[in-house]
Every structure is written in C-alpha cells, then in structure tokens.
C-alpha cells in the first residue's frame, strides 16, 4: 500500500492514545506496520504473539486512532483485515521535567532485545555546545533520520534509529534529589 496519502504526523493528545503507545508490545506492532500493511496473523508472527493477543493490541491501537484498516479481503468465508499506521510518524507529548520518556524506554528495550550477534552502533557523547550549535545538531540529526526513512525499503530487514539530544540536569540536581 502506498503511503503517499497518509498524513505526515499523528499527534498523541488523549490519555487513551498515550496508554496505547506506552505499551512495548503495541510499540512493536506499530513498528511492523510502519512500512506495510499486515493482517493480525502476520503481525502475530512478526512480533511473536498469539493471534488473540495480537488482535487485542491492534484493536486498542485502532480505537485510539493510531492504526486503521486499509484493505479487506475474503479468505474462506472470513473477512481478513489489513492494518497500517494512521500517519507516517507519531508525535508524543513532551514528558515534562522528570517524566518518563516512553520513546527512549522503548528504544532501550528494543536494543536490549536485539540479538547480541547483530551489528550495532551505540554511542553516547558528552558535548558542550552553544545554543546555536545545539539547535543545528538537533536539526541535522532529524534531517538525517528523515533522509534514511525515505530510503527505507520494506523488503529489507528492520533497523532502528533512536537519538536523544538534551541538556542533562545540573550536577547536584539529578532526578530524585532535593532541590
């Protein structure tokens, strides 16, 4: 299914949507649907779930408006539904100071679950940047991610890219410490 007619961004704004995307299993289902539509059976196989569990999670995502039925077909008297993402990207609300960052939690969980023998590029760098350099680096990282997303081929194996550019809490005021 071509994704040309999909909206660019779906903004998560409701509690129902936030609950839907905060679950790691549903995050993985959305990753399956990112490039091509799939049936409940296909989703279950790719994520490693029972069909019933896969159906439950997809229904929650559909109810929240994050995925939608894009095609149906009759197979032995049963209507088979193909699901796809409702938009090219999902924008999460800012977690606020000290709030959980679901995107990074999901990325770390996916990294930890990746086969140990697979190639990985993981790096953390501590930088000291001016406001202008900070903004420029953020824009360049986003542009690079967008460029490679456009080059993505659904027939190739998945690869995940996660980055976080942020200013950490001042020393002595780390999370959980008194102000």
Taking the CB of residue 135, how many other CB atoms lie within 10 A of it? 12
Lowest-confidence segment of 1-5, 26-30, 38-42, 160-164 by average pLDDT: 1-5
Condensed to tens digits (0 to 9), the pLDDT of residues 39-87 reads 999 999 999 999 999 999 999 999 999 999 999 998 888 899 999 999 9
Residue 102's SS3 state is helix
| pLDDT score, position 66 | 95
| pLDDT score, position 2 | 45
Name the pTM for this structure: 0.71
Condensed to tens digits (0 to 9), the pLDDT of residues 115-171 reads 888 888 888 889 999 999 999 999 999 999 989 988 888 788 888 888 888 888 777
Task: Answer for the pair 90, 13: CB distance below 8 angstroms, yes or no.
Answer: no
The answer for residues whose C-beta is within 8 angstroms of residue 91's C-beta and 6 or more apart is 9, 10, 11, 12
> By C-alpha distance, which of 170, 149, 20 is closest to 86?
20
Find the distance separating the first CA and the last CA of the chain, reported in whole Å.
52
């Amino acid at each position: 299914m071509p994704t040309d007619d999909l909206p660019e961004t779906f903004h998560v704004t409701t509690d129902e949507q936030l609950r839907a995307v905060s679950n790691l299993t549903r995050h993985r289902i959305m990753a399956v649907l990112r490039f091509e539509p799939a049936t409940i059976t296909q989703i279950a196989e790719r994520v490693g779930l029972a069909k019933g569990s896969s159906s439950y999670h997809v229904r929650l995502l559909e109810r929240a408006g994050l995925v939608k039925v894009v095609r149906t077909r009759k197979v032995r008297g049963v209507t088979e539904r193909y699901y796809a993402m409702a938009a090219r990207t999902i924008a999460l609300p800012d977690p606020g100071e000290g709030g959980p960052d679901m995107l990074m939690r999901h990325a770390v969980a996916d990294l930890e679950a990746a086969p140990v023998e697979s190639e990985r590029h993981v790096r953390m760098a501590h930088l000291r940047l001016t406001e202008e350099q900070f903004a420029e680096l953020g824009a360049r990282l986003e542009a690079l991610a967008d460029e490679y997303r456009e080059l993505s081929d659904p027939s190739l194996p998945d690869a995940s890219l996660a980055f976080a550019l942020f200013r950490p809490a001042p020393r002595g005021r780390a999370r959980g410490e008194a102000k």
